[in-house]
């Protein structure tokens, strides 16, 4: 990933039926297709959190895909926080806490 003038970072919280439906794998694959860095993880409250960095247009495409999710998911809400680009990640992974 490179730093461009359009580089950004977002934190996305997805709620609904998003655990136990391969949502994290879906998010990781979509992020990798878009060349994003970051991570995705399940939260104890039943939501999924994704933190991603890259070009803003690719981040917006990623968020649009998270709003739909994989087959079996029922996305109820997607909250997005935009943050400054930090170039913290070299790839996109699933993390386990």
Choosing from 3, 11, 42, 47, the catalytic residue is 42
Active site residue 42: yes
Active site residue 24: yes
Choosing from 3, 11, 17, 24, the catalytic residue is 24
Task: Give whole-number Cα distances, 97 to 23, 49, 76, in Å.
Answer: 16, 12, 23
The DSSP line for 12-27 is EEEEEE-SSSSHHHHH
Query: Which residues, at least 6 apart from 64, have a Cβ–Cβ distance to it below 8 Å?
Result: none
Beta-sheet pairing, 74-83 with 48-55: unpaired
List the catalytic residues.
24, 42
């Amino acid at each position: 990933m490179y730093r461009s003038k359009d580089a950004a970072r977002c934190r996305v919280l997805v709620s609904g039926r998003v655990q136990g439906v391969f949502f994290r794998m879906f998010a990781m694959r979509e992020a990798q297709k878009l060349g994003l860095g970051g991570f995705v993880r399940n939260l104890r409250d039943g939501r999924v959190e994704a933190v991603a960095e890259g070009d803003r247009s690719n981040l917006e495409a990623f968020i649009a895909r998270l709003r739909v999710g994989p087959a079996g998911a029922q996305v109820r809400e997607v909250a997005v926080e935009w943050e400054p680009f930090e170039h913290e990640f070299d790839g996109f992974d699933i993390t386990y806490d």
